[in-house]
Amino acid sequence: MANYEARAKELSERYKIMQPSMKPEDDGVVLLALKNHAQAREDALNALYETLADKQDNPLASRIAERIDAAATRVLAPLNTMLDGIKDPSANLRAFRDIAAAEEARFFDTLKKSGVASNRDEQMTRCHKLEVYAAELRAKWTSLSDTEKALLERERYAAAQLRDTVKRAFEEAVPAWATGSRDVLDKAGTIEKVKKQINDKVKEEVRKVADKLGADKRLADELSRQLGVGSTIAGYVYDALSAAYNPLGSAIKTVGKAAKALEPIAQAVVDQKSAEIRQLLGGAQNVVVTFSTTRREATDYVRNNGYEQAKSIYDNSRRALEDWMNGPLSDGMKVEARRLFDAQDAVLQTFVELMRQAHTKFVSDYRGIFFESVSQSTIDMMSDKPFLEEWADGINRLDMDQQLQQMYAGITDLHGNLDRAFGSMTLFADLPLEAQAMLQEQVRRIEREVRDPITAEMREHTRTLEQANAKKPATVVQAVARTAKDLAEKAARGGG
């Protein structure tokens, strides 16, 4: 325990000035009072020092205030009763007692007014508040992270479904389309050959009849009329046309297989999955907004309650104690005030250091998240930009929109080729008129039985490709990727 004797010596030296004029019995009363005062002061200041030097982590403001009041009462008691045993004390003795009592009262009163009780607890409380806020922020960040992770899992699932649907559709469609298109063109290209075969067959039959009748060319019309109702020629023409056109049906079915594979794209799959991904990105947008708000709150909190503020409070607290210690106190009191000042200053420094450590850990834990520039890992987590960019790039490499356009243009060309092929079959200008009429009747029959179903099927495939082409899935994917990029940029700005 500290030995507080400077004040006792100070009062003893003052009293010696008047001591020669004191009666022996009165002198004994004063000396006893001074002795009691010195002991009371030492006991009181030791008790106060013990409280001021206490570094335990709990509030002590009320206890410190109580100790100051108790010390004042205890120290003043021997001075207040000093003259009780002296009959008719002198004015000098009264003045001695009154000055000493006033100095003691001022000592404790100014100590209390320095804020020594509350300042210590304020430093400690700031540490507690920062630790509590750090725990709250950790909970918020965990909630944000968990929410974002859940969104990303669903987003990735939807994105994977869309990509797999599109990829599978093209994997099935492209080979079938290539094979079917080639077959259609090959079969359409044989029409001219069939037409020539029919021409040659009819001419051959005309020659046979002419030779049989011994007729010349002037009898061609009559021969044509006979040929026009000839079942042999009619059957041959029908069989030849069927042989030419029936394979087209099989080839068109192959093209139809390609269109069928693209139906998921032509239907609502792209719209549905894209809308689902966008909705999830909307949820991510809300997370970024919450992140922004939390980031501002964290920055403001540290600005108003962080280490710099703790140092400022410490400086103010220390200055207040220094003002008390260097104020209107007696020299002896200043010596003893220094001991109390050192005790309290050590405690204040301890809490400032604890605050520095708590602040450093707090900022370090959330550096790149809520403090300083937002880190790339935080940006990626908030927006899932790397995944969406990779996903978009993968779909773009499928070259969907261009392939859909090519398929759509291709089936239109196929349709035109079929029309031209059938059109060319109706022209047999180098044959007699009756033969032409007979052939055209067979062509119309083939149109009804073969061409019309093929044409209807082609139109259905054309509608499928039109719908798929209109979806422009690659464009949709690019829009989703741009949304992710926007989210990343917002996250990089702290969500602002």
Same-domain pairing of 98 and 236:
no
pLDDT tens per residue, range 398-414 = 676 777 777 777 777 77
Is residue 142 located within the same domain as residue 172? yes
What's the domain count of the chain?
A: 2
Q: Is residue 348 part of a domain?
A: no
Query: Is 320 domain-assigned?
Result: no
Domain finish residue from 113, 146, 181? 113
Average pLDDT score over residue span 192-209: 69
Instruction: Please check the confidence at residue 229 and state whether its pLDDT lies above 50.
Output: no
The token pair that represents 393 in the structure block = 């790039």
Q: Residue 1: its pLDDT value, please?
A: 45
**Domain membership of residue 54 as a residue range:** 1-113
3-state DSSP call for residue 371?
strand
63, 82, 113: which is the final residue of a domain? 113
Residues 6+ positions from 166 with CB-CB distance below 8 Å: 265, 270, 395, 398, 400, 473
Supply the pLDDT for residue 228.
Answer: 47
| Separation CA 69–CA 27 (nearest Å) | 30
Helices 400-425 and 452-471, packing angle to 10 deg: 160
Highest-confidence range of 271-275, 326-330, 403-407, by mean pLDDT? 326-330
Note whether residue 461 is domain-resident: yes
Q: Is the dihedral of CA 292, 295, 297, 303 positive or negative?
A: negative
Instruction: Please state, in angstroms and as integers, the Cα–Cα distance from residue 169 to each residue in 247, 473, 479, following that order.
Output: 26, 12, 21
Give the Cα-Cα-Cα angle 263, 268, 272 (nearest 5 degrees).
Answer: 140
pLDDT for 252 equals 74
Contacts of 4 by beta carbon, 8 Å cutoff, 6+ apart: 41, 42, 45, 46, 336, 339
The model's pLDDT over 122-163, given as tens digits with 9 standing for 90+, comes to 888 888 888 899 999 999 989 988 888 888 788 788 878 777
Of residues 217 and 392, more confidently modeled:
392
Residue 344 lies in a domain: no
350 inside domain: no
Q: Give residue-wise pLDDT tens across range 76-85.
A: 999 999 999 8
User: What percent of the chain is predicted at pLDDT more than 70?
Assistant: 83
CA distance 414 to 52: 98
| Alpha-carbon dihedral 451, 453, 458, 464, rounded to 10 degrees | 170
Shared domain check, 413 and 383: yes
Is residue 71 assigned to a domain?
A: yes
Beta-carbon contacts of 138 under 8 Å, excluding residues fewer than 6 positions away, are 365
The pTM for the full model equals 0.66
Confirm whether 328 is domain-assigned.
Answer: no
Element housing 361 (H / E): helix 331-365
> pLDDT by residue (tens digit) across 424-442?
665 666 666 666 676 777 7
Q: Is pLDDT at 180 greater than 60 in this prediction? A: yes
Q: Is the pLDDT reported for residue 204 higher than 60? A: yes
For 82-122, write each residue's pLDDT tens digit: 999 898 899 999 999 999 999 999 999 999 999 998 988 98
46 and 155 share a domain? no
Asked if residue 413 and residue 280 are part of one domain, the reply reads yes
Higher pLDDT, 48 or 438: 48
- Average model confidence (pLDDT) for the chain? 81
CB 57 within 8 A of CB 124: yes
Pair 164, 247 in one domain? yes
Which of 319, 176, 312 is CA-nearest to residue 255?
176
| 297 domain-assigned | no
Q: Residue 219 has what pLDDT?
A: 59
Q: Are residues 11 and 87 in the same domain?
A: yes
Q: Is the pLDDT of residue 247 over 80?
A: no
Average pLDDT in the 9-16 region? 95
pLDDT digits (tens, 9 = 90+) for 452-468: 777 777 777 777 777 77
Examine the pLDDT at 304 and tell me if it is beyond 60. Answer: yes
Average the pLDDT over 266-274 and give the result.
74
Q: Average pLDDT, stretch 317-332? A: 94
pLDDT higher at 262 or 216 = 262
Both 79 and 169 in one domain: the answer is no
Verify that 247 and 386 share a domain, yes or no.
yes
How much is the average pLDDT of 263-267? 75
Task: Give the pLDDT of residue 322.
Answer: 95
Q: How far apart are CA 339 and CA 335, in angstroms?
A: 7
160 with 275, same domain: the answer is yes
Give the CB-side neighbour count of residue 152, counting CA atoms within 13 A: 17
Contact (CB, 8 A) for 424 and 223: no
214 plus 104 within the same structural domain: no
pLDDT at position 465 is 74
Q: Are residues 99 and 145 in the same domain?
A: no
